[in-house]
Amino acid sequence: MKIALVGYGKMGKIIDEISQSRGHEVVARLRETPTKDSLNGADVAIEFSNPEAAFENIKVCLENHIPVICGTTGWLDKKPEIEKITLEQDTAFLYGSNFSLGVNLFFALNENLAKLMSKTTEYSVQLEEIHHIHKLDAPSGTAISIAEGIIENSKYEAWKLDETKDKELGIFAIREDEVPGTHSVFYRSEVDEIEIKHTAFNRNGFALGAVIAAEWIVGKQGVFSMKDVLGL
Ligand X SMILES: O=C(O)C1=N[C@H](C(=O)O)C[C@H](O)C1
Ligand Y SMILES: NC(=O)C1=CN([C@@H]2O[C@H](COP(=O)(O)OP(=O)(O)OC[C@H]3O[C@@H](n4cnc5c(N)ncnc54)[C@H](OP(=O)(O)O)[C@@H]3O)[C@@H](O)[C@H]2O)C=CC1
Hey, which residues are catalytic here?
131, 135
Q: Coil, strand, or helix at residue 148?
A: helix
Among 3, 28, 42, 48, binds ligand Y (CB under 6 A): 48
Q: Is 43 helix (H, G, I), strand (E, B) or coil?
A: coil
218: which residues sit within 8 A by CB, 6+ positions away?
Answer: 1, 43, 44, 67
- Residue 152 binds ligand Y (CB under 6 A): no
Give yes or no for a contact between 125 and 160, defined as CB atoms under 8 angstroms apart.
no
Does 97 count as an annotated binding residue? yes
- The site map against ligand X for 68-107 (x = CB under 6 A) is -----x-----------------------xx---------
Q: Smallest gap, in angstroms, from Cβ of residue 173 to ligand Y?
A: 12
Total of residues contacting ligand X (CB under 6 A) = 9
Q: Give me the phi and psi of 113, to 5 degrees please.
A: -65, -40
> Distances from the Cα of 200 to the Cαs of 83, 92, 150, 173, 194, in angstroms?
29, 28, 21, 16, 20
Q: Which of 140, 172, 210, 217 binds ligand X (CB under 6 A)?
A: 140
Rule CB under 6 A: choose which of 135, 186, 223, 230 binds ligand X.
135
Q: Looking at 55, 89, 96, 123, which residue binds ligand Y (CB under 6 A)?
A: 96
- When the beta carbons of 27 and 115 are compared against ligand Y, the nearer one is 27
